[in-house]
Amino acid sequence: MTTVEQKTVPLNGDESVAYAVKQCDVDVVAAYPITPQTIIVEKFSEYVADGEVDTEFVCVESEHTAMTCSITAAATGARTFTATASAGLALMHEMLAVASGSRMPIVMSVVNRALSAPLNIHCDHADSMAQRDLGWIQMYAENSQEAYDSIIQAFKIAEHLDVQLPAMVGLDGFVLSHTLENVTVLEDETVKKFVGTRQIPHVLNHRGEIVPFKLDPEKPLTIGPVALQDYYFEHKRQQEEAMKNALEVIKQVHNEYAELTGRSYGNGLIETYRLDDAEIVTVCVGSTAGTIKTVVDTLREKGIKAGLLRLRTFRPLPVEDIISNLKGKKAVAVMDRSSSFGGNGGPIFIEIRHALYNGADIPQVVNYIYGLGGRDTPPALIEGIYNDLQKIAQIGQVEKQIQYVGLRE
Amino acid sequence: MAEWKVTGKEFAKIPEKFMAGHRACAGCGPAIALRLVMKAARGPIIVTNATGCMEVVSTIYPNTAWDVPWIHTAFETAAANAAGIESALKILRKKGKIKDKHVDVVAFGGDGGTFDIGFQALSGAVERGHDFLYVLYDNEAYMNTGIQRSGGTPHGAWTTTSPAGEVIPGKTQYKKPIADIMVAHEMPYVATASIAYWNDMVKKARKGMEIVGPAFLHTFAPCPRGWRSETAETVEIARLAVETCVFPLWEAECGEYKLSTKSKAIAKNPDKKKPVEVYLKTQRRFRHLFKPQNKHIVEEIQNNVDRRWKKLLKACDLD
C-alpha cells in the first residue's frame, strides 16, 4: 500500500545512490573518484553543474581527505555524504574511526570491491568487512532499488538523537553499480520531508553552558580532544550503547519508510525468504541474495525445504533475529564474499556461528567463501551449496567447515 | 587592504582565546605562537588543530584551553579539517541555516603535520582555494613523540632519529623550504613570522585571516625540550634565527616576495647579519657540530643560509 506519488526510472546502482543523495537535501558532499564508485561522483557533479542540487561539492585530493572533510563539515552542522570503494575505503580507515568516535552522522555508500593485491576492480566485500569494528552502521543492499531506499533511510538512522553514528550502505560493485534496473523513486519533496532537518544533540561545554554539539562561533566547544586512561574507555562504551540503540532505530525508520513507499526489506535488520519451515538455509549479504531466492524457488518446487536469511544490517549485528530465525534449522551455510586470512572462516560465518553458540537447537553451520574479485556466482553454484546442506542435514555433521566455491582447486 | 595596527597596550587588553591552563612545557615557543595568533582574531572564528604538541597539551579531556569552537581529527588532517569547515559554513550560510556572517577558519599544524604527513591535504586544500589561514608552528622535529626528525629539521641537528653518532653527525638532509613551496602554489598569501617579533606576527596572522582564499603563516617556534636550550632563552633564540638569516621574515602576496621588519633592516645593512654560529651555540642539539672534525658542517650550514638569503633578496628584487 503506497500512499505517495512514485515513478519508475531506469538507474544503475551508482545512479540510484546519487539520485537519493540529491533528494536528501545534503549540505556537503566531499568525494574522490574510484572504480566502481565513479558514477556516483560523476552524476553528482552533473547535478551540481546543472544547479539541480543545493550542495557544496568538494572534489578532494584523496579519500582520506574526503572522510576528513565529511567529519568537520558534519561537525559544523552540515548534513554530509561521501562515497567510496576498495582502496579508497582502506585509505579512509583511520578517519572512519574518528568519524564514529566523534559521533558524526555521515552517510557513505561503499560500492563493494576487492582489495589489492593483486589489483582487481570487481566485487567482493573485503573492503567494508575490514572496517567492521570501527563503529559504523553497515547495511548491504540486494539491488539498486534497495540502495536508493537505504541511502534515504541511512540519513534518518544516523542522525537520530539516540544514534548519532555514521552509516555506510554497501552495494555490490558492477553487479549493482553498473547494471541498469528499474528503480522506483519518490518525489523530491517526499524524501525531504521523510528525512527531515538534521537534529543536533546538546552537550555541556567548558563554560558550563548547554550548547549544540557543533562548531558554533558563538558557543565555543572543543570537539575531538585528547582523552586518556581516565576517560577514553567511557567514550567507547557510549559508542557501543549508540550501536545498540541503532538496532531499534533501523527497524523504526525502515517501517516508517515501508509504510510510505510500500517497500520493505524484512524488518530492516534481516530479510528472510521462505525461511519459516525451511530445514536448510543459506545466510548472505548483498546482491547474491537475488540469485539465492531464485534457487530457493527452484528447490521448493522439488519439495526441498530451502530458505534464505539475508543480513541487511551487519553492524549493529541483529543477534536476537539471527538466533530466533536459525534456531532448529538442520543445516546453515554462511556465505562470505571475503576472507579472514588465518581466521576460522569468513567474517560473517564467525559472527553467525558465534551468535548461535548460546542458543538451543543449534543447527550445523558451514562456511562458503565465494565470489572473490568478482568471480561469477551462478545459480548452479548456489544449488551445489544446498546439495551439500542436504547431506549435512542427513548425517547431522559438518565434514569440512570452511569451503571455497567457484574456485579452481 | 588597510594593515591592522595594534600597540602593545591595546594588544594586552585583547581577551585570550588560547587560554591559561594548558600543559605546555616551560618556555614553549609554539604556545607563544598560538597565543599571539589567537589574539589577532578579528571576530567569529573556528579553529582546528593537527595532532601534535599543541593539541595534546591544550585539550586533555575534560579540560580545554580553547575558548573558541575547536576541532581535532587526526595528525595529517589540519588543512582537510579546515576545508570541511569552510565548505559547510559556505553552504549553511547560503541556505540560511546559520547566521549570515563571515567566520574565520584557522588551522594549526606542527612541522611533522605540515612538512611531512599533512602536506598532501595542505596542498590539496590550497589548490581548491578554500578560505582559511593555515598556521605552521615550526619547532623543527616531532617533539610530541620524543624529538624525532621531520622534513622541517635543519641540517646537522641532533634528534632521536637523526642522532649525532660516530659516523653520522646529526641530520644529513636540509630543511624543506615549505613556505617557498606554498608560494609556488600561487596562493594569495604566504608569510613567515617569529615569536621574537610579536607585532609582525600578529599583523601577518590578521592579514592571513582577512585575505580571501588560502593563507599560510610559517611561524618559527623554538622547543627548549627538543632543542636542548634554556627555557628562558626561547624568544632570544627565535630572535637570533632572524638575525642570522637562518629564518628570515617575509611575506608573499600572490607570489610577490617582500621582506619584513628585522630582515628588511638586514637587507639594507648587511653588517647586521650575524654568523650562524651564534645561533647554533644556543642549542645543545647542535653541540656536536663544534667538535673539530665537524667544523665543515657549520661552514656548510653558513653557506646554505647565505645562499638561501641571496635567493630571497633576489626574489624581493633586492640583490
Question: Distance between CA atoms of A32 and A65, rounded to whole angstroms?
Answer: 9
Question: Distance between CA atoms of A26 and A157, rounded to whole angstroms?
Answer: 15
User: Is the pLDDT at A384 greater than 90, yes or no?
Assistant: yes
User: Is the pLDDT at A1 greater than 70, yes or no?
Assistant: no
Tell me which residue in A61, A62, A72 faces B81 most closely, judged by beta carbons. A72
* pLDDT at B2 (0 to 100): 80
* pLDDT at A123 (0 to 100): 98
Query: Could you report the per-residue pLDDT of A78-129, keeping only the tens digit for each?
Result: 999 999 999 999 999 999 999 999 999 999 999 999 999 999 999 999 999 9
Q: What is the pTM of this model?
A: 0.98
**How would you write chain B as a 3-class SS string?**
CCCCCCCHHHHHHCCCCECCCCCCCCCCHHHHHHHHHHHCCCCCEEEEECCCHHHHHHCECCCCCECCCEEECCCCCHHHHHHHHHHHHHHHHHCCCCCCCCCEEEEEEEHHHHHHCCHHHHHHHHHCCCCCEEEEEECCCECCCCCECCCCCCCCCCECCECECCCCECCCCCCCCHHHHHHCCCCCEEEEEECCCHHHHHHHHHHHHHCCCCEEEEEECCCHHHHCCCHHHHHHHHHHHHHCCCCCCEEEECCEEEECHHHHHHHHCHHHCCCHHHHHCCCHHHHHHHCHHHHHHHHHHHHHHHHHHHHHHHHCCCC
Cβ-Cβ contacts under 8 Å between A and B: the total is 163
Q: Does the beta-carbon distance from A102 to B73 stay under 8 Å?
A: yes
A residues 93..112 contacting B (CB < 8 A) = 94-95, 98, 102
* pLDDT at A2 (0 to 100): 59
Q: Does the beta-carbon distance from A65 to B77 stay under 8 Å?
A: yes
Mutate to test the interface with B, among A65, A91, A106, A228 (most CBs of B within 10 A): A65
Q: Which residues of A touch B145 (CB under 8 A)?
A: none
Question: Span A379-395, mean pLDDT?
Answer: 98
Q: Does the beta-carbon distance from B85 to A76 stay under 8 Å?
A: yes
Å between B113 CA and nearest CA of chain A: 14
* pLDDT at A409 (0 to 100): 83
Question: Span A188-213, mean pLDDT?
Answer: 97
The tens-digit pLDDT sequence of chain B (319 residues) is 688 999 999 999 999 999 988 999 999 999 999 999 999 999 999 999 999 999 999 999 999 999 999 999 999 999 999 999 999 999 999 999 999 999 999 999 999 999 999 999 999 999 999 999 999 999 999 999 999 999 999 999 999 999 999 999 999 999 999 999 999 999 999 999 999 999 999 999 999 999 999 999 999 999 999 999 999 999 999 999 999 999 999 999 999 999 999 999 999 999 999 999 999 999 999 999 999 999 999 999 999 999 999 999 999 999 8
Burial (0-12, 13-18, 19+ Cβ within 10 Å), A239: middle
Query: Could you report the per-residue pLDDT of A274-290, keeping only the tens digit for each?
Result: 999 999 999 999 999 99
B residues 81..120 contacting A (CB < 8 A) = 81-85, 87-92, 94-95, 97-98, 103, 120
B residues 114..153 contacting A (CB < 8 A) = 120-121, 123-125, 127-128
Q: If we measure between CA atoms, which residue out of A307, A322, A303, A297 comes closest to residue A274?
A: A307
| A102 within 8 A of B84, measured Cβ to Cβ | no
For A212, which residue in chain B has the nearest alpha carbon? B69
Residue A298 CB contacts under 8 Å (≥ 6 apart), including other chains: A379, A383
Q: Which residues of B touch A62 (CB under 8 A)?
A: 120-121, 124
Three-state DSSP state, A335: strand
Q: If we measure between CA atoms, which residue out of B149, B150, B113, B152 comes closest to residue B134?
A: B113
Å between B79 CA and nearest CA of chain A: 9
Burial (0-12, 13-18, 19+ Cβ within 10 Å), A373: middle
User: Is the pLDDT at A147 greater than 70, yes or no?
Assistant: yes
Q: Does the beta-carbon distance from A206 to B83 stay under 8 Å?
A: no
Å between A43 CA and nearest CA of chain B: 20
Assigned C-alpha cell, A337: 564474499
Q: Which residues of B touch A76 (CB under 8 A)?
A: 46, 84-85, 88-89, 92
Q: Does the beta-carbon distance from B91 to A55 stay under 8 Å?
A: yes
Tell me which residue in B71, B90, B121 faces A224 most closely, judged by beta carbons. B71
Question: Distance between CA atoms of B253 and B260, rounded to whole angstroms?
Answer: 13
Question: Distance between CA atoms of A142 and A124, rounded to whole angstroms?
Answer: 13
Tell me which residue in A62, A77, A223 faces B88 most closely, judged by beta carbons. A77
Neighbours of A226 (CB within 10 A): 17
Residue B135 CB contacts under 8 Å (≥ 6 apart), including other chains: B33, B34, B37, B106, B107, B108, B109, B205, B208, B217, B219
Query: Could you report the per-residue pLDDT of A170-200, keeping only the tens digit for each?
Result: 999 999 999 999 999 999 999 999 999 999 9
Q: If we measure between CA atoms, which residue out of A272, A275, A402 comes closest to residue A347?
A: A402
Least confident segment among A150-159, A287-296, A352-361: A352-361
